[in-house]
């Protein structure tokens, strides 16, 4: 027998190896193996088993890693699809489906030495003093970790071993699982009585689950489906549209319970930032007891490698049937898989920004189809693409129109900052209306959240005389002034330099330098002067270096030790504070005028989310949105909490410009140190792409053009954008072209299918 192996080094090729007699029966599709490659030993995954090979003199597999196949046949199929659709090397796709902590050759369970007291036969021996002290502890505990005992008794392992020699204790090596949540005490929770809207949603989801495999598409063995099928999933993909607090999570929980009853498992994806202990606890609490009891495994980047290894294997062994995790948890080897939930499905963090550049929501829909699992996408502000898929009948729309507790949506006022500018000298950070509202809250001892999605003090430094802007030497971006450290900092590459005393332009040297544009530090500073007695705290990536910092500030805010919390998008999500009755959005149009067709959608989503932080308690909330383009639809529809209105008008805009969901986009970015070479390569690539047009009639090619961020980390960036309805065919064509394309050594090409970041 021979095994076909995809090697971890990217070669876009698979290689045949013989299976030596001593490994017979241990090698299967999905096994991780070590094989010889030239003089090296390399890891890879078996993708097929065959009787014979077209090649002679095959080298044998050296060894198999792990007792079980690590990549299940189903996940292998998914990886193949990712390689094809997202136009990346199959081995790159395969690599991404296993966490690093599982892939490593020496990855294993942790074994630790346990010590157990043995029954004493006959008379208890007289022990030396030290040994007797140790024994006293053992006698009381009966069973204890050797390391713990050594510490407790302030002794050495050698002394303990003497007890073993006397036959008083047994010391054995055992697996000790690393549980990242071992310290949390979690109280079991019971299902709530659902309200009518939740009941309708649940009934439809359960009905689809009961249809079972029939709902899914059959996938032929070893062959990925044509990727265009992502456009035609059966309607067992649901979009659960409901504002925060409308009870979506309760629907997820009860749908998961249904999967467990059917003997199936579930995967829950949440954005990394929402993977707080509280979120995890809600899922653990529901499934940690009762007759459906199962382990809930958690996969995310804050776990140690050992914890990740153990969590993953609990899933692979079938002991944990529920997985909650960030993006890559979509590859968890849950089997059989009944349900996939993608919470906050519109979040851009579901898109991986390095190869394979997959979108976990779209992969979830694909996996659901392949395995006949029901997929539930949830959001208060669904992605335009997802909502459109409901209109087209590809997804089924489920709505939870009201908050569970009948709370009213906050009252949103849009403040025209052009007015504020006309009234005074220069633009104030706080409009008179917002200032007044803050004053009132301070008097009433209610809390305020102020939002500005930019950290630092001033976003640029400009010479008043010659107009010179201090830019990063590595990136085409103005440097941000950070006041606490008195530094200029690049927000792309983190380059820093001293604040110049005069204009850096040698011909100018004017001492008058103006700080312009604002960041959270300046908001904090000005606010402190306006309200000297208010307790103000800032929350952004500059102050929140560690996870505990985040928790500490939120705890203080919860206990009422902070009056005003200023923050970036870090505070936009999921926070629930009943005493917050005012939210101020300092500069709502900041992201609105960026060269990205999703700028309006992004602004709408962000405003809606931030506004949702107000009025979560008994008192109705108020939101002030300061804007320079107050009549922009994204702002006006957010003001009225009108998702449908926004959707209709945004859809019209996308249609006119033939942007998604009316087409699919592929973005090709060429990068290199030498601008001429990059540009030349881009032109060369463009000529190659023109040929695809013969087969793909609707293909629209634009560029090459300098990227909006024309240079980053010393690399020039040129882009070519392609639009088509038939992305699977385009992906295939791109794979062919890029595999034969010869680029200069120092120019690289990134292919991004369905990009979310056009920068
Ligand atoms: P979402 O996920 O949409 O933000 P949640 O499921 O977290 O909403 O529900 C918000 C709050 O309402 C939670 O505290 C939850 O326990 C409660 N809740 C949800 N559904 C019900 C229900 N049917 N009856 C009573 N309380 C509910
Ligand atoms: Zn830079």
Q: For 579-620, write each residue's pLDDT tens digit.
A: 889 999 999 988 888 788 999 999 999 888 888 777 767 778
Ligand 2: centre distance to CA 494 (Å): 6
Low-confidence spans in the chain with pLDDT less than 70: 10, 105-107, 212-235, 420-426, 573-574, 616
Please tell me the predicted confidence (pLDDT) of residue 644.
94
Neighbours of 175 (CB within 10 A): 10
Residue with tokens 């240079």: 711
What single DSSP character describes residue 600? H
Q: To which H or E segment does residue 258 belong?
A: helix 248-261
Asked if 191 contacts 200 with a C-beta cutoff of 8 angstroms, the reply is no
CA 66/CA 306 separation, integer angstroms: 15
Nearest residue to 366 via CA among 255, 270, 225, 259: 225
Residues less than 5 Å from ion ligand 2, measured at CB: 472, 474-475, 490, 492-493, 495
CB within 8 A of 27, min separation 6: which ones?
A: 1, 3, 19, 33, 46, 49, 61, 64
Q: To which H or E segment does residue 718 belong?
A: strand 715-724
Nearest CA to ligand 1 atom 20: 247
CA 402/CA 242 separation, integer angstroms: 7
Ligand 2: centre distance to CA 569 (Å): 21
Asked if 638 contacts 423 with a C-beta cutoff of 8 angstroms, the reply is no
Residues with CB under 6 A from ligand 1: 192-195, 198, 242, 244-250, 404
Nearest CA to ligand 1 atom 11: 245
Pocket test for ligand 1, best of 195, 246, 248, 249 (most atoms within 8 A of CB): 249
Ligand 1: centre distance to CA 402 (Å): 11
CA 80/CA 73 separation, integer angstroms: 11
Please tell me the predicted confidence (pLDDT) of residue 234.
46
Tokens of 672: 């290199």
Give me the helices (H) in 356-494, please.
Answer: 360-371, 384-391, 417-423, 432-444
Nearest residue to 258 via CA among 204, 195, 326: 204
Please tell me the predicted confidence (pLDDT) of residue 409.
81
Please tell me the predicted confidence (pLDDT) of residue 574.
61
194 CA: nearest ligand 1 atom = 23
CA 555/CA 575 separation, integer angstroms: 11
Tokens of 632: 């922009």
Ligand 2: centre distance to CA 566 (Å): 26
pTM of structure:
0.85
Tokens of 357: 């550049």
Q: Which long-range contacts (CB under 8 A, 24 or more apart) does 683-687 make?
A: 684/741, 685/720, 685/737, 685/741, 685/749, 686/720
CB within 8 A of 573, min separation 6: which ones?
A: 271, 273, 274, 344, 609
Please tell me the predicted confidence (pLDDT) of residue 212.
64
Ligand 2: centre distance to CA 293 (Å): 51
Ligand 2: centre distance to CA 264 (Å): 49
Please tell me the predicted confidence (pLDDT) of residue 225.
43
CA 367/CA 25 separation, integer angstroms: 29
Asked if 113 contacts 171 with a C-beta cutoff of 8 angstroms, the reply is yes
Pocket test for ligand 1, best of 191, 197, 247 (most atoms within 8 A of CB): 247
Asked if 523 contacts 452 with a C-beta cutoff of 8 angstroms, the reply is yes
CA 221/CA 49 separation, integer angstroms: 13
200-220: burial string, b at 16+ Cβ within 10 Å, e else = ebbebbbebbeebeebbbebe
CA 667/CA 747 separation, integer angstroms: 16
CA 599/CA 509 separation, integer angstroms: 38
* Closest ligand to Cα 473: 2
* Closest ligand to Cα 470: 2
Side-chain-side CA neighbours of residue 474 (13 Å): 12
* Closest ligand to Cα 379: 1
Please tell me the predicted confidence (pLDDT) of residue 222.
40
Nearest CA to ligand 1 atom 15: 247
Pocket test for ligand 1, best of 250, 279, 342, 617 (most atoms within 8 A of CB): 250
CA 702/CA 694 separation, integer angstroms: 16
400 CA: nearest ligand 1 atom = 3
380 CA: nearest ligand 1 atom = 3
Please tell me the predicted confidence (pLDDT) of residue 217.
40
CB within 8 A of 332, min separation 6: which ones?
A: 267, 297, 299, 312, 315, 323, 325
Asked if 725 contacts 59 with a C-beta cutoff of 8 angstroms, the reply is no
Nearest CA to ligand 1 atom 8: 247
Ligand 1: centre distance to CA 248 (Å): 7
Ligand 1: centre distance to CA 247 (Å): 4
Tokens of 650: 């945004």
β strands within 571-658, DSSP E: 580-585, 622-627
Nearest residue to 332 via CA among 360, 359, 372: 360
Please tell me the predicted confidence (pLDDT) of residue 604.
94
Nearest CA to ligand 1 atom 9: 247
What DSSP string runs through 719-754?
A: EEEEEES-HHHHHHHHHHHHHH----TTEEEEEEES
């Amino acid at each position: 027998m021979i095994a076909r192996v995809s090697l971890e080094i990217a070669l876009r090729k698979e290689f045949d190896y013989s299976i030596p007699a001593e490994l017979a029966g241990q090698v299967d599709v999905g096994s991780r193996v070590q094989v010889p490659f030239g003089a090296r030993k390399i890891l890879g995954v078996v993708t097929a088993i065959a009787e014979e090979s077209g090649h002679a003199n095959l080298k044998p597999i050296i060894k198999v890693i792990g007792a079980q196949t690590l990549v299940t046949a189903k996940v292998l199929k998914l990886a193949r699809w990712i390689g094809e659709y997202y136009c990346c090397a199959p081995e790159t796709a395969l690599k991404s489906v296993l966490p690093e902590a599982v892939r490593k050759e020496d990855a294993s369970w942790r074994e630790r030495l346990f010590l157990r007291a043995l029954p004493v036969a006959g008379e208890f021996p007289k022990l030396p003093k030290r040994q007797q002290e140790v024994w006293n502890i053992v006698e009381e505990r009966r069973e204890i970790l050797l390391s713990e005992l050594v510490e407790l008794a302030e002794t050495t392992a050698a002394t303990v071993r003497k007890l073993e020699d006397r036959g008083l204790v047994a010391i054995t090596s055992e697996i000790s699982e690393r549980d990242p949540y071992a310290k949390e005490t979690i109280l079991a929770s019971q299902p709530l009585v659902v309200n009518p809207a939740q009941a309708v949603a649940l009934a439809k989801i359960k009905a689809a689950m009961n249809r079972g495999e029939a709902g899914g598409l059959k996938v032929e063995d070893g062959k990925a489906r044509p990727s265009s099928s992502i456009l035609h999933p059966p309607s067992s993909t649901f979009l659960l549209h409901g504002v925060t607090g409308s009870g979506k999570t309760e629907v997820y929980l009860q749908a998961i319970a249904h999967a467990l009853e059917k003997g199936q498992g579930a995967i829950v994806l949440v954005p990394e930032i929402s993977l707080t202990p509280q979120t995890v606890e809600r899922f653990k609490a529901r499934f940690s007891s009762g007759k459906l009891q199962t382990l809930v495994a958690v996969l995310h980047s804050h776990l140690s490698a050992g914890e990740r290894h153990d969590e993953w294997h609990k899933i692979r062994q079938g002991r944990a049937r529920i997985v909650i995790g960030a993006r890559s948890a979509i590859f968890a080897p849950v089997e059989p898989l009944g349900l996939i939930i993608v919470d906050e499905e519109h979040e851009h963090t579901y898109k991986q920004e390095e190869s394979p550049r997959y979108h976990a929501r779209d992969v979830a829909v694909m996996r659901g189809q392949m395995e006949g699992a029901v997929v539930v996408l949830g959001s208060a502000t669904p992605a335009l693409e997802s909502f459109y898929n409901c209109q087209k009948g590809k997804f089924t729309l489920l709505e939870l129109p009201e908050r569970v507790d009948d709370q009213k949506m906050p009252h949103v006022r849009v403040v025209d900052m052009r007015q504020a500018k006309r009234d005074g000298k220069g633009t104030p950070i706080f409009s008179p209306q917002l200032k007044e509202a803050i004053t009132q809250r301070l008097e009433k001892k209610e809390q305020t959240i102020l939002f500005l999605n930019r950290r630092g003090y001033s976003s640029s430094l400009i010479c008043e005389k010659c107009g010179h802007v201090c830019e990063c030497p590595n990136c085409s971006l103005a440097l941000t002034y950070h006041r606490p450290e008195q530094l200029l900092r690049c927000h792309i590459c983190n380059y820093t330099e001293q604040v110049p005393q005069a204009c850096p332009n040698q011909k100018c040297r004017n001492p008058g330098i103006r700080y312009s544009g604002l960041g959270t530090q300046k908001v904090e500073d000005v606010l402190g002067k306006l309200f000297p007695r208010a307790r103000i705290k800032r929350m952004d990536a500059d102050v929140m270096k560690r996870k505990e910092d985040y928790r500490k500030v939120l705890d203080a805010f919860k206990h009422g030790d902070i009056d005003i919390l200023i923050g970036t998008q870090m505070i936009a999500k999921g926070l629930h504070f009943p005493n917050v009755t005012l939210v101020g959005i300092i500069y709502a149009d900041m992201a609105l005028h960026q060269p990205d067709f999703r700028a309006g959608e992004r602004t709408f989503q962000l405003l809606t989310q931030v506004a949702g932080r107000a009025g979560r308690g008994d008192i109705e909330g108020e939101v002030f949105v300061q804007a320079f383009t107050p009549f922009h639809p994204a702002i006006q529809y957010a003001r009225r909490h009108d998702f449908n209105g926004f959707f209709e008008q945004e859809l019209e805009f996308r249609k006119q410009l033939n942007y998604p969901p009316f087409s699919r986009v592929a973005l090709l970015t060429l990068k290199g140190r030498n601008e001429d070479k990059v540009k030349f390569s881009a032109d060369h690539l463009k000529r190659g792409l023109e040929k695809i047009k013969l087969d793909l009639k609707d293909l629209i090619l634009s560029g090459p053009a300098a990227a909006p961020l024309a240079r980053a980390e010393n690399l020039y960036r040129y882009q070519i954008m392609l639009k088509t309805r038939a992305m699977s065919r385009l992906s295939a064509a791109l794979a062919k072209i890029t595999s034969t394309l010869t680029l200069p050594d120092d120019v690289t090409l990134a292919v991004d299918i369905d990009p979310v970041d056009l920068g």
